[in-house]
């Protein structure tokens, strides 16, 4: 370090776009970098690209810089003393702004809504509490599709009234609405800012939430690794929930190793050791590959430029051909349950379940806030109606999904019928693994596979 150089000045060669958490941890261990320098560099990347530069609008809030540096300095001092809390000690993470952070860290939890901009939560969500204990630095709160995509119809993924429109760092010219509501320029949602933030070098790690694709799809569009853990193994205490049946906390990163280390922290079972499964080998895996022509978004949802689908299919089949000689078994194509089979009489099973479960979850969250201008779903809807200039702008005037959760609640009989139907479809899916003698099914992510995963991953203890 040169004379007069601040100990917090970050190395100019630090490549935040490519380095994953494990590589950053190696630099920290080798004393080539400090956590304080890393935090400084991440904040500078946010300042240069979020409302300037590429104008990504991936972030809603960060704590005061001096507060973050103080936390980082503490972790750096622990490292010097030989106290390493774990493999993510001193590494920054961003979390979706539907996940509560303690008010002492000077960030609100808004879910992207002005109605909650002045609200105060009681403390950290359980997952944030576990991250802090493991020495992970909460760098900021990321933008999202408002209320986790459960505010209104025809709202572009990644838009919230508080955060504006998140855009992809990979797409020049912004969003092209002529390619459909799920076209390739759409950054995916609802954990949009978390994915874009990692891709843009704001942080090597991020948390999102997922009901039906809200972590996996934006991570896919941002060229990241992501995992949606099994329903129920990661606490959802302290988050804005849509559904007790489907909601999970998802993780995003630049490597599978980083995801394993994150899961090791987040999963409630302290005996779970996910890093040990990183064998870096296909030798013991038996894989079934789905047909990419069968598993793709419909043209009504996504119609990319000519040649894009062919390119995606070619890359998928190339991966299959490279894995085939390395794996214990590869079978192609494997026919699996189609997502349309999840629905009943042409109606979405997901929205039936969510409309039944959402109202009580929203009421409970709002009623348990320390301070809030709204205390129920009904009050939230009325607040939006009273503040249309903030919450119902001309481009996105709808809060139809909030209203449906209040006024169109399915009967318990209809709800239980859907739950029973989803369970039957899940049994059919499980039978495919046995009949084909496979461990994993590989499916293109730009499809409705997340719906199938959500239905099969839920627990069936909620039916009454």
Residue given tokens 């912004």 in the structure block: 174
**What is the C-alpha to C-alpha distance for residues 464 and 57, in angstroms, rounded to an integer?**
42
Pair of tokens at residue 303: 């119609």
Three-class DSSP labels, the chain: CCCCCCCCCCCCCCCCCCCCHHHHHHHHHCCCCCHHHHHHHHHHHHHHHCCCCCCCCCEEECCCHHHHHHHHHHHHHHHHCCCCCCCCCCCEEEEECCECCCHHHCCCCCCCCHHHCCCECCCCCHHHHHHHHCCCEEEEEECCCHHHHCCCCCCCCCEECCCEECCCCCCCCCCCHHHCCCCCCCCCCCCHHHHHHHHCCCCCEEEEEECCCCCHHHHHHCCCEEECCCCCCECCCCECCCCCCCCEEEEEECCHHHHHHHHHHHECCCCCCHHHHCCCCCCCCEEEECCCCCCCCCCCCCCCCCCHHHHHHHHHHHHHHHHCCCCCEEECCCCCCCHHHHCECCECHHHHHHHHHHHHHHHHHHHCCCECCCCCHHHHHHHHHHCHHHHCCCCCCCCHHHHHHHHCCCCHHHHHHHHHHHHHHHHHHHHHHHHHCCCEEECCCCCCHHHHHHHHHCCCCCCC
Q: 347: which strand partners?
A: 344
32: annotated active-site residue = no
Residue 174 contacts residue 229 (beta carbons within 8 Å): no
Residue given tokens 């990347």 in the structure block: 45
Residue 204 contacts residue 194 (beta carbons within 8 Å): no
Q: Which of 190, 245, 257, 447 is catalytic?
A: 190
Pair of tokens at residue 119: 């609200």
Residue 137: its pLDDT value, please? 99
Pair of tokens at residue 398: 């709808």
Residue 462: its pLDDT value, please? 41
**What is the C-alpha to C-alpha distance for residues 431 and 351, in angstroms, rounded to an integer?**
26
Residue 270: its pLDDT value, please? 85
Q: Which of 214, 251, 302, 349 is catalytic?
A: 214
300: annotated active-site residue = no
Domains in the chain, please, with CATH?
21-277 (3.90.1300.10)
**What is the C-alpha to C-alpha distance for residues 337 and 432, in angstroms, rounded to an integer?**
9
Q: Which of 40, 96, 108, 228 is catalytic?
A: 96
**What is the C-alpha to C-alpha distance for residues 187 and 168, in angstroms, rounded to an integer?**
5
**What is the C-alpha to C-alpha distance for residues 24 and 75, in angstroms, rounded to an integer?**
14
Residue 27 contacts residue 161 (beta carbons within 8 Å): no
Hey, how many other C-beta atoms are within 10 angstroms of the C-beta on 325? 8
Residue 435: its pLDDT value, please? 96
**What is the C-alpha to C-alpha distance for residues 77 and 79, in angstroms, rounded to an integer?**
5
Residue 10: its pLDDT value, please? 72
Residue 6: its pLDDT value, please? 60
Residue 342: its pLDDT value, please? 93
Residue 223 contacts residue 213 (beta carbons within 8 Å): no
214: annotated active-site residue = yes
**CA-wise closest residue to 128 among 105, 111, 147:** 105
Pair of tokens at residue 283: 């030798």
What is the pLDDT tens value at each position of the chain, 464 positions in all? 444 446 777 777 799 999 999 999 999 999 999 999 999 999 999 999 999 999 999 999 999 999 999 999 999 999 999 999 999 999 999 999 999 999 999 999 999 999 999 999 999 999 999 999 999 999 999 999 999 999 999 999 999 999 999 999 999 999 999 999 999 999 999 999 999 999 999 999 999 999 999 999 999 999 999 999 999 999 999 999 999 999 999 999 999 999 999 999 999 998 889 999 999 999 999 999 999 999 999 999 999 999 999 999 999 999 999 999 999 999 999 999 999 999 998 889 999 999 999 999 999 999 999 999 999 999 999 999 999 999 999 999 999 999 999 999 999 999 999 999 999 998 999 999 999 999 999 999 999 999 999 988 754 344 33
Residue 456: its pLDDT value, please? 83
0.85 exceeded by the pTM? Answer: yes
């Amino acid at each position: 370090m040169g004379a007069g150089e601040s100990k917090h000045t970050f190395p100019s060669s630090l490549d935040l776009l490519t380095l994953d958490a494990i590589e950053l941890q190696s630099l920290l261990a080798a004393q080539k970098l400090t956590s304080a320098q890393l935090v400084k560099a991440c904040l500078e990347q946010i300042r240069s690209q979020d409302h300037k530069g590429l104008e990504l609008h991936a972030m809603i809030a960060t704590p005061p810089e001096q507060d973050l540096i103080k936390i980082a300095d503490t972790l750096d001092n622990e490292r010097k003393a030989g106290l390493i809390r774990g493999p993510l000690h001193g590494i920054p993470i961003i979390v979706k702004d539907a996940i509560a952070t303690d008010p002492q860290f000077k960030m609100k939890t808004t879910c992207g809504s002005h109605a909650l901009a002045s609200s105060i939560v009681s403390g950290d969500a359980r997952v944030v509490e576990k991250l802090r204990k493991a020495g992970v630095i909460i760098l900021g709160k990321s933008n999202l599709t408002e209320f986790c995509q459960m505010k209104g119809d025809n709202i572009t993924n990644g838009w919230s009234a508080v955060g504006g429109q998140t855009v992809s760092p990979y797409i020049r010219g912004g969003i092209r609405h002529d390619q459909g509501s799920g076209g390739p320029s759409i950054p995916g949602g609802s954990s949009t800012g978390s994915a874009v933030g990692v891709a843009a070098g704001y942080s090597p790690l991020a948390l999102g939430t997922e009901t039906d694709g809200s972590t996996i799809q934006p991570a896919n569009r941002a060229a990241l690794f992501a995992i949606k853990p099994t329903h129920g193994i990661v606490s959802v205490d302290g988050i804005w929930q849509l559904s007790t049946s489907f909601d999970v906390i998802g993780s995003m990163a630049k490597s599978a190793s980083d995801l394993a280390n994150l899961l090791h922290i987040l999963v409630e079972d302290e005996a779970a050791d996910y890093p040990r499964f990183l064998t870096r080998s296909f030798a013991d895996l038996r894989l079934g590959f789905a047909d990419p022509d069968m598993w793709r978004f419909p043209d009504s949802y996504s119609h990319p430029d000519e040649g894009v689908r062919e390119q995606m299919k070619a890359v998928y089949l190339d991966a299959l051909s490279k894995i085939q000689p390395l794996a214990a078994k590869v079978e192609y194509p494997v026919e699996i349950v189609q997502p349309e089979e999840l629905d009943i009489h042409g109606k979405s099973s997901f929205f039936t379940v969510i409309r039944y479960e959402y109202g009580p979850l929203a009421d409970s969250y709002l009623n348990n806030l320390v301070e809030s201008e709204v205390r129920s779903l009904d009050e939230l809807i009325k607040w939006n109606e009273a503040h249309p200039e903030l919450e119902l702008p001309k481009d996105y005037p709808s809060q139809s999904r909030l209203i449906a959760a209040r006024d169109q609640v399915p009967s318990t009989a209809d709800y239980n019928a859907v739950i029973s139907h989803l369970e039957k479809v899940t049994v059919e899916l499980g039978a495919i693994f046995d009949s084909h003698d496979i461990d994993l099914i590989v499916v293109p992510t730009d499809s409705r596979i997340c719906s199938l995963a959500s239905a099969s991953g839920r627990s069936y203890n909620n039916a009454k």
